Amino acid sequence: MSLRVRLTLGTVALLSIAIAVALVTAYFVVRHELRSEIDRSLKSRAATIAAVARQLPAGGLEPPPLTNVPRARFGEPDSYIQFVDRAGKIVLRPGEHVRLPLGDAQAVAAGRRGAHFTEAVAAQTHVRIYTVRTPGGAVELARSLRDVDSALGWIRDVFIAVLFLALTATTALAYLVARATLRPVAQLTADAERIAATRDLRAGTDERRSDELGRLAKAFNTMLRALADSLSAQRQLVADASHELRTPLTTARTSLESLERHPELELDQRQVYLRAAISELEEMTSLIDELVELARGDVRPPDKQPIRLDELTEEAISAAKRRTDRDIHAELEPTVVSGAADDVARAIANLLDNAIKWNPPSAPVEVSVLHGALTVRDHGPGVPPEEREHIFDRFYRATGARTLPGSGLGLAIVRQVAEAHGGTVDVETAPGGGAVFTLRLPIVGNVQEGQHPSEPNSL
């Protein structure tokens, strides 16, 4: 069953219930009013009979002479009347031959029950009976409900016709409204099918509506743009990776082919070719590792938890000192951030490697973790202003870095880690020369030395 049909049926069902409840309520209100009018006329006649009975001389237990009961005046509804004494004897008004059902009239005459209304069929006529006690017994007054039943039957027929017409009109209207409401959904579905067939992610759907469906269309277009950007970035990554891998692979292949073609080379010369091939293969391995890291970060959200930024930085500094034997000065304030330890450690290591690559051997690399931010400063040539907006792009190589080893992916990984953690990374020129890279991550808090990240902050 389509959504349009479900909406139509749901709307019709709700409106049908509302209309039916309204009509049934109106029917019973009219029924109550019509019967209340009859009840009032019966009570009025009973009061007249009681007044006549009180004016008659006391007759003991005998019923009052009903010949003294006046007929209804012109324009007033007449009624059947019969008197019932305490013994159950029935006395009819002269000229009347129809007896009303006795019911509880004897109990009313004996005073065991109060006045009340009942309904019965007398002489094949549906009547309303009012039984009330009078001197000497009880009087039963009845009025035919034929006119009331006829009026109620006509009202029922009219209400059924109204309900049928209302349901017909409601069904048609609900179908038109559902079709108009779901037209943007149908258009969105057609656009999605067209995009799936043509693979053209830039061709979105109409988002000019201001309602919820307009928001859905905007979200759909935003998703398409994000997907298109992701696919474009993937294609660019593959193209750039192919280009970057081609150079070390070609160099290594050339060195190995030279060894194969010239077996007469001396050992020293052969070692030169082998070292060149190994160096290129190591660079290619590093490039592949960084590509894998980038791809893994694109598809896997970080598993964030409280981690000590100062401790991760201290471990990265120790590893860099062992690997490069360079001087690194550190000022580390105990700080807890929210992040994935492995990813943050990789970003810190990349910033240190970048600083060591540019820093003169005679000057120290300066590292600090203060106020929840990691800063790494080198004393190299710095980053020219025109290159700062591209320094974190994938495979971007600054003008002075094109002769140095590296893939141009280290700082791109740093930015990816920062953005995945809801943080930022930027670069500025340091006073006196050099570059300052600042990595900011969401802070959980500062802690005292030796305090575990999960323990309460004592500061």
Tell me the pLDDT of the chain (459 aa) as tens digits: 677 777 778 888 888 888 889 989 998 999 889 888 888 888 888 887 777 766 655 544 344 555 455 555 544 455 788 888 887 788 887 777 778 888 888 888 888 888 889 888 887 888 888 888 887 788 888 888 888 888 889 998 998 898 888 888 888 888 888 777 777 777 778 888 887 887 777 777 777 777 777 788 888 888 888 888 777 767 766 766 665 667 678 878 888 888 888 887 788 888 888 888 887 787 677 667 766 666 665 545 677 889 999 999 999 999 888 888 889 999 999 999 988 888 898 889 889 988 988 888 888 999 999 887 999 999 888 888 877 777 887 666 655 554 455 556 778 888 888 888 889 999 998 888 889 999 999 888 655 545 545 443 332
**Whether 79 contacts 72, CB under 8 Å:** yes
Give the pLDDT score at 377: 93
**Whether 100 contacts 122, CB under 8 Å:** yes
The CA distance from 215 to 209, in Å, is: 8
The CA distance from 202 to 200, in Å, is: 6
Q: Nearest-CA neighbor of 442 among 409, 417, 412?
A: 417
Give the pLDDT score at 236: 67
Q: Nearest-CA neighbor of 244 among 410, 49, 130, 451?
A: 410
Q: Is 288 exposed, middle or buried (CB count within 10 Å of its CB: 0-12, 13-18, 19+)?
A: middle
Give the pLDDT score at 459: 28
**Whether 82 contacts 90, CB under 8 Å:** yes
Radius of gyration of the chain (CA): 50
Phi-psi region of 457 (alpha: psi -120 to 50; beta: other; left: phi over 0): beta
Q: Is the pTM of this model over 0.75?
A: no
Strand order in the sheet with 335-339: 305-308, 335-339, 443-446
Q: Is 30 exposed, middle or buried (CB count within 10 Å of its CB: 0-12, 13-18, 19+)?
A: middle
Give the pLDDT score at 395: 65
Give the pLDDT score at 369: 93
The CA distance from 400 to 408, in Å, is: 12
The CA distance from 153 to 233, in Å, is: 77
| Alpha-carbon distance values, 243 to 98, 236, 240, 250, 255 (Å) | 115, 10, 5, 11, 19
Give the pLDDT score at 168: 87
Structural domains present in the chain: 3-151 (3.30.450), 212-298 (1.10.287.130), 303-446 (3.30.565.10)
**Whether 146 contacts 126, CB under 8 Å:** yes
**Whether 86 contacts 106, CB under 8 Å:** yes
The CA distance from 139 to 423, in Å, is: 96
